[in-house]
Amino acid sequence: MGTWRIIAEDSQSRARAAVLETPHGLIHTPTFMPVGTAGAVKGLLPAQLRSMGTEVILANTYHMLVRPGVDVVEAVGGLHSFMAWDGPILTDSGGYQVLSLARLTRIEDDGVEFASHVDGRRIWLDPQTAMTVQARLGADIVMCLDQCPPHDAPYHQVRQATERTIRWAVACRRAQVKQGQMVFGIVQGGIYEDLRQFSARAMVEIGFDGYAIGGLGIGEGHDAMIRAARYTTGLLPEDRPRYLMGVGTPLDILMAVQAGIDMFDCVLPTRNGRNGYAFTMEGPLRIRNSIHSSEKAPIEPGCDCYACSNYSRAAIRHFFNVGEMLGPILLSIHNIRFYQRLMAQIRSAITDGTFHQWAERVKGSLAIYQSQAGN
């Protein structure tokens, strides 16, 4: 497994800065992982991701299994070669697709049957299969198969999913993984503290290289999510990385760092970028608005990304209006860089002992994204 070393801790919260060593390089945490679901971060080159400050990216086991298939990826040298990315990669197990593709799944105690969203063919995913596929893909960090229940599921259904996730975690831990791969267990339990405690204790007893918190950021609301994350981190070992899956907005991330989270992933920067929405410290910018039609300023003055260094708002707006693919690419570049600059500021503030004061100062400017980031 990789080594995990805490560098600094905030005295007024659970925030910490650390370094995670993997076979493909170091990950400085807290970190944000751009999402490359199907083997690529949409519209962006690996060199661009590196230039934005990205150290680790995420790919998805289910989607790679459906297309192009694990045989193809393995034949060309594994996921790093396939993606032309020489840094660390984390693969999700496909557990989230049990929720997002619920209408196409049949859940049993020993696994999940999917009807492929592409062609309808039957795909069986159980703990052994999930771990075998991830071993063949060659990711640095692999996730246990889990069941993520809907945010509004009744208590008994959440408990059932939590119990099933624990059984699957035992099977995943027993499965063979590639040498050097880290295996993360996933704590489920919704917003119920007793279920989070039940799940966390079981995962810690099984023993993993890191621990993820799943089943949050799916509609329960910001305050409930942070409460659940804060409660759960208090149940997890200090000497292991903690990963909050699928989260989130800039304020979600800042508050979750305070709660003790080290790793994040989310589609918001690229998805919103493709839809003409830019993140800035002054609030959201919608590039299609006519106010930008002749604006010479960059997306965000002071930003060092390629888009802000080379293009005006007027030019980028034009690209969107004429359907030129460069528009979505440039906003995606800016948004990923915005997130990576935020993470760098968080790490720096934790390290130099100013995190609490800095966080209180920027929370107000980030709060606007709670209601608007997905628009």
Nearest to 248 by CA among 260, 235, 257, 237: 257
Find all residues with CB under 8 Å of 265, minimum gap 6, and list them.
Answer: 32, 33, 34, 35, 58, 90, 245, 246, 247
> What pLDDT was estimated at residue 240?
98
pLDDT tens digit sequence for 264-284: 999 999 999 999 999 999 999
Characterize 269-278 residue by residue with b for buried, 16 or more Cβ atoms within 10 angstroms of its Cβ, and e for exposed: bbbbbbebbb
Whether residue 30 is preceded by a cis peptide bond, meaning omega within 30 degrees of 0, is yes
Give me the amino acid identity at 150.
Answer: P
Is 119 tagged catalytic? no
pLDDT at 367 exceeding the cut of 90: yes
Distance CA 346, CA 355 (A): 7
Distance CA 22, CA 17 (A): 17
Mean pLDDT of 179-186: 96
DSSP string, 248-279: --HHHHHHHHHTT--EEE-SHHHHHHHTTEE-
Give me the amino acid identity at 276.
Answer: G
- Please state, in angstroms and as integers, the Cα–Cα distance from residue 124 to each residue in 91, 105, 110, 130, 271, following that order: 18, 10, 10, 10, 29
> What pLDDT was estimated at residue 23?
96
Domain boundaries, the chain: 35-237, 276-368
- Catalytic residue of the set 10, 92, 140, 262: 92
pLDDT tens digit sequence for 314-330: 999 999 999 999 999 99
Q: Are 56 and 26 in contact (CB under 8 A)?
A: no
What confidence tier does 101 reach under pLDDT thresholds 50, 70, 90? confident
Longest CA span, the chain = 60
- Distance from the first to the final alpha carbon of the chain: 40
Q: Are 259 and 227 in contact (CB under 8 A)?
A: no
pLDDT at 374 exceeding the cut of 70: no
H or E, element range at 107:
strand 105-108
Tokens standing for 304? 């060092």
- Catalytic residue of the set 146, 239, 265, 352: 265
Q: Are 17 and 350 in contact (CB under 8 A)?
A: yes
Is 262 tagged catalytic? no
Residue 131, Cβ density class (10 Å: 0-12 exposed, 13-18 middle, ≥19 buried): buried
Percent of the chain clearing pLDDT 90 (strictly above): 91
What confidence tier does 373 reach under pLDDT thresholds 50, 70, 90? very low
Distance CA 272, CA 48 (A): 18
Nearest to 373 by CA among 181, 217, 226, 192: 217
Q: Are 146 and 186 in contact (CB under 8 A)?
A: yes
- Could you say which architecture CATH assigns to the domain 35-237? Alpha-Beta Barrel (3.20)
At what angle are helices 250-258 and 355-367 packed, to 10 degrees? 150
Find all residues with CB under 8 Å of 235, minimum gap 6, and list them.
Answer: 187, 196, 197, 200, 201, 204
Model's pTM, two decimal places? 0.96
What confidence tier does 371 reach under pLDDT thresholds 50, 70, 90? low
> What pLDDT was estimated at residue 1?
56
Distance CA 255, CA 10 (A): 13
* Residue appearing with tokens 């800016």: 334
pLDDT at 70 exceeding the cut of 80: yes
> What pLDDT was estimated at residue 332?
98
pLDDT tens digit sequence for 106-117: 999 999 998 888
Q: What angle is formed at CA 108 by the lines to CA 104 and CA 111, rounded to 5 degrees?
A: 85
Characterize 299-331 residue by residue with b for buried, 16 or more Cβ atoms within 10 angstroms of its Cβ, and e for exposed: bbeebebbbbeebbbebbbbbbeeeeebbbbbb
